């Protein structure tokens, strides 16, 4: 049974529960900062695999220090149960926001924040492998941060995962090459970000499907959807993220950021020239 006492923190309420851990809203002693405590439900002796994944998640987030990555404040043991003290996001996740389309300016701002975060994550040879709205959290000031590195991996390790025919991530955000059994890469994260960008602009999935098999076929074969004419300025960005052939995608998050800047510049010039 996971303990409900953690030295240095006052647990306020349980936020949620996954297969391996529970999340608690807590207050840190001393400065009264509100944090989220993620506490494993088993001890290392009971489940060494869960503990190693937990420790790896901490390492990946700690290495990827960036305004667009959720922050970790500490870690330790509550009795024999490992815990992480993490940043609290009072406004929830992007999942709620994409239920209705964002205005293009907002979608572009979020895209730039997330691309910047991915650039830092990828610079450390880490791939997230599960980028989706529920894993993009919203701060009080409206800025966004990528969270949940539970299935993230080093680039050196993903080839081994592919050979074992293990596919990580959520079906609506899977790049075509993952469905073909190829390893994850920086470019598969960029594809997932493209799906997310389409959702932000339209409040819909780019490849709606009735079942997993149909969805997989659409990822593999259905052309990148065309945005309505009113959103045409953003089609090239979408094409560069959702290209079926990885070699036709943006080859890095920084290249994507450069293209975002180009679009913003073009829009600003057009606005300045308008009568």
Give the pLDDT confidence of 9-37 residue by residue, as tens digits: 999 999 988 888 899 999 999 899 999 99
Q: Is 130 a catalytic residue?
A: yes
Listed by start position, the domains of the chain span 9-87, 94-267
Per-residue pLDDT reduced to its tens digit, 124-158: 999 999 999 999 999 999 899 999 898 899 988 87
Per-residue pLDDT reduced to its tens digit, 234-265: 999 999 999 999 999 999 999 999 999 999 99
Q: Which of 29, 96, 130, 148 is catalytic?
A: 130
CATH code: domain 94-267 is 1.10.510.10
Q: Does domain 9-87 have CATH number 3.40.47.10?
A: no
- Closest listed residue to residue 249, CA positions, set 179, 170, 165, 176: 176
Per-residue pLDDT reduced to its tens digit, 261-274: 999 999 888 888 87
Per-residue pLDDT reduced to its tens digit, 23-80: 999 999 989 999 999 999 999 999 898 888 888 888 898 888 889 999 999 899 988 9
Contacts of 9 by beta carbon, 8 Å cutoff, 6+ apart: 26, 27, 28, 29, 35, 37, 85
| Angle in degrees, 0-180, between the axes of helices 235-242 and 253-273, rounded to the nearest 10 | 170
- Closest listed residue to residue 190, CA positions, set 248, 106, 263, 261: 248
Is the pLDDT at 166 greater than 90, yes or no?
A: no
**3-state class of 84 per DSSP?**
strand
pTM above the 0.95 mark? no
111 within 8 A of 246, measured Cβ to Cβ: no
**If you write DSSP's letter for every residue of 39-69 in order, what string do you get?**
EESS-TTT-HHHHHHHHHHHHHHHHT-STTB
What's the Cα-to-Cα distance from 78 to each of 56, 59, 149, 154, 226, rounded to whole Å? 18, 19, 21, 28, 51
């Amino acid at each position: 049974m996971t303990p409900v006492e953690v030295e240095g923190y006052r647990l306020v309420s349980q936020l949620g529960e996954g297969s391996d851990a529970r999340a608690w809203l807590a207050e840190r002693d001393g400065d009264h900062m509100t944090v989220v405590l993620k506490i494993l439900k088993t001890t290392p002796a009971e489940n060494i695999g869960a503990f190693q994944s937990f420790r790896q998640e901490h390492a990946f987030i700690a290495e990827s220090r960036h305004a667009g990555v959720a922050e970790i404040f500490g870690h330790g043991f509550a009795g024999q149960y490992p815990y992480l003290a993490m940043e609290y996001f009072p406004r929830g996740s992007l999942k709620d926001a994409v239920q209705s389309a964002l205005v293009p300016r907002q979608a572009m701002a979020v895209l730039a924040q997330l691309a910047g975060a991915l650039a830092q994550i990828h610079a450390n040879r880490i791939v997230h492998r599960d980028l989706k709205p529920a894993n993009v959290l919203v701060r009080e000031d409206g800025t966004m941060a990528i969270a949940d590195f539970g299935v993230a991996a080093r680039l050196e390790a993903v080839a081994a995962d592919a050979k074992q025919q293990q596919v990580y991530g959520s079906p609506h955000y899977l790049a075509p090459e993952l469905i073909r059994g190829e390893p994850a890469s920086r470019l598969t994260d960029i594809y997932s970000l493209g799906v997310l960008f389409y959702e932000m602009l339209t409040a819909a999935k780019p490849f709606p499907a009735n079942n997993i098999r149909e969805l997989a076929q659409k990822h593999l074969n259905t052309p990148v959807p065309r945005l309505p004419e009113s959103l045409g300025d953003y089609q090239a960005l979408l094409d560069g993220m959702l290209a079926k052939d990885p070699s036709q995608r943006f080859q890095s998050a920084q290249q994507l950021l450069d293209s975002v800047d180009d679009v913003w510049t073009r829009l600003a010039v057009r606005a300045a020239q308008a009568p």
